[in-house]
Structure 1
């Protein structure tokens, strides 16, 4: 007897864009891209969604791995990318049936290696845009030029053929109870397999939809928090400017009131002198009246001119002060940049040498998993690792720190009447985006109490 040959599987890679599948190639061509021999300028400075396929000789998909790949400004693949696609495809769980039985599927929501989950993405299983159906149809077109193996008819050896007795040639075989039970058991087994396959497909679709909804909700929450913080900061700045303007106006009003009182006193004094002179003669009174009005008008004009000069001088002083402040701030920024450049010059050179040697900087943060930090993001990570991890989880830094305290010690944080902490063990929330203060970090009794107090 001839030995059965194991069917050969062809490895291929498919590129996705917003409209669907945009490029196909064999895995050998993809390795040339990873080695930097060939570049793809159409994907320059972007993160591209790809799918690794294993295809049999009948143009049927057997394994799929959905993953990300970054390209630099010249369209060359990330040199630090080292995802084990073949191992992921071989160890992946079962997926939908694309024509040759359930495939092996590795994606973000179904990853055999947990710390590789961040480099994978979930396919869309919607009826109007099904990524798996697009893969199946694209493979059937055979744009890759895969050698197709035709199905050969099975030939039986003459020695293995058995001829029934002559008396049973024309009589139909009787269906016994045992045969009926075997047939029913076989049909029930096939029905269970099909049902289990449909359940797995629906679970995968639900997991993908939940992941997409959570990421979208986290992005919306983060944008809302940032917008709220910016509005609060703008409101505080306007309130501060308003208080300063009110203080300036109050000072000017007080000064104007004092000058008015002095003018009134001077006028009253002049009026008394004029009445005293009226007793000595009308002519002398007219002279004094004219003299008084002239002096009064001169004083008023002099005072007005003096205040105008003071206001002009104050405006010039404010403009000069703003100019000096701007110059000093520019000098401070320049000195700070020089200090930062001097401080990070030696360390930056070492990091660049390590990056050129192929060293990849990977850190682990709860909730975000293992993060691959690009060289350009290392200063931002050094300034605030918690904020960097929070951004990767699509939450604010405050929410991430509160979730981290809960993650490290999942106990109730509510206070008892005695002033002590409840400290009752509670379920740990694994994702920062699902953490809600007052709900996730409290036991059911205190959460219910909190709701009753709020309703009251």
Structure 2
């Protein structure tokens, strides 16, 4: 508050309370000595010293003492606020340093796990390529046996029996190799899934760490805001349609998270409705699509000043003028007047 002679905020508050107090239900104590409205003379000015009555001199002395007392209190409060801010900054710095250390550890673990995952993935690809190669060999051997079988049919049934035995033995061996490779691939896939789960868990822990860091930092800030609010400070924000909004300390977090949604609640509308009205309020034009490219008409319409009176699709379009945008002298006169 200003304490300059001739511009004393406390005197202005006192005069305002005297003028409007009865309308607000405030009782005025007429026995209190009134403070002088005339500022003290400037030191060094060549003016004649006025004659001061004893009562006025005593009242002025009390006012000066009150001014000195208030100045001392304000200085102490500012010092306390500065001390709280310094303490909070130091605490936030420590928390941020600890969080950064843990984040670096988690990032290192994550990089290690990702390296293992890439190795397993490359091994899995190599096993699949080996399996494909064995399948190609089986097909080649089968074709070769069939050709030999066709050529040796004339050599008698004994050769056919030997060929069939060899084919069965080869198929059995191939089946064993295929089963072995399938087990290895399944084991590798399970390892990959386990690594994926570990990576997801580490990401969740990292996200939780970041959220906790923000929460801890905001908790210290919340204490400072509550302390400032207890000292008489108030937080005011202006939003179109809602005007000047008073925000308490416990509402600062939700306001900073989404100011538009906060203003929408004050206007008793949803956030989407408020955003649509805000676009109309800032640029009140017709939104009816016209033409082959379906672009908005763009003609001026009457702006709706109150959010809860705005109707999307109705207030932001002129049905009488669209889709052909016909001249409407009535709306033109209103817009020209506005």
Q: TM-score range by the shorter chain?
A: 0.3 to 0.5
Select the structure with the greater relative contact order (CA < 8 A; seq sep ≥ 6).
2
Quick check: which one's helix share is greater?
Answer: 2
